[in-house]
Structure 1
């Protein structure tokens, strides 16, 4: 059984308008994730539905799949594919990290199909294993900059929406959840 922390989604946002930046028209909420080694990434809150703590051994490995797919997990009675997000974007695989932990931290990515292009609205879910979930960040989406092609790896490029340079000088990569989902192997 896993401990969970629910996140707001598009249907039931939990937004404290007192915490909004002054020009909130272009502001967007992101979940701040830490990936090893020393990489901080942002994923849009509206693409996430839950944060999970999963005991080691609860993710069942599957043979003959890409190395960044860790396996499957029984989530709410459904099969949820689990992906090592760091490994998927070109960082060292989770199993090579020296962490000495007894649980995985994962976020559940939830992508809804565009209803305008399909008569049946479908949704897809995917578990993304990360080192830790840090915080929720407000970011003016106009400040997300295009990545410099020389500064990103070929593994990261298809999933990178851009980067955000905070006023403190910290640079955060912004990951596109739809691109992560589109990059999954087809059955």
Structure 2
């Protein structure tokens, strides 16, 4: 896996993401404590903000809606497949998977949508392998630095049943914002095997 998050496609991205495109993670980490980890902040419709570890992400994309090919007999949150660098990339509506409003109900007349490429370990039938998924989100926001020890579990009874399996915990940001931290490997495990 590369040491930097690359950004491709058209569209405006936050300055910090454009900086991350050209700076290796190690260079950025030199400015922060050795106990912090980088997370990419993503917005899910209507008002949820979630974090995914940068080490599980490889790229930020802008996907043209007409280039995602739907696949029948899949869960509604599986949008289809996309030709990414000559490889098949399964695309998932992350908000819909987590119990929020599906992408197709959010906006009309949209020609493209933002996505992040998740690379996580998948264990099936005793074998482990890396699997890539395109996670469609409402917006890619910024990079957050967080001490992993500050991520707190939340009682599963206070979390929606759709979100609970994908939740690593919550992080209370210094300004009082509570951000959900997702588990990329749990998202990959939820993907049905074609």
Q: 1:97 aligns with which of 103, 106, 109?
A: 106
SS at match of 1:172: strand
Tell me which residue corresponds to 2:31.
19
**Structure 2 unpaired stretches of 5+:** 1-7, 11-16
Tell me which residue corresponds to 1:62.
71
Instruction: State the distance in 2 between where 1:100 and 1:32 align.
Output: 25
How far did 1:144 drift?
0.4
Instruction: State the distance in 2 between where 1:113 and 1:87 align.
Output: 21
TM-score norm. by structure 1 comes to 0.86
Instruction: State the distance in 2 between where 1:19 and 1:13 align.
Output: 11
* Pairing 1:160–2:172 present: no
Q: How does 1:32-71 map to 2 (within 5 A)?
A: 32-71=41-80
How far did 1:51 drift?
0.4
RMSD: 2.3
TM-score norm. by structure 2 comes to 0.83
Tell me which residue corresponds to 2:138.
131
Tell me which residue corresponds to 1:144.
151
More helix by share: 2
* Pairing 1:185–2:161 present: no
Instruction: State the distance in 2 between where 1:169 and 1:15 align.
Output: 28
Tell me which residue corresponds to 1:86.
95
Provide, for residues 20-51 of structure 1, a one-character-per-residue CA deviation record: whole Å limited to 9, x for no partner: 1xxx2321100000000110000000000000
How far did 1:58 drift?
1.1
Tell me which residue corresponds to 1:3.
9
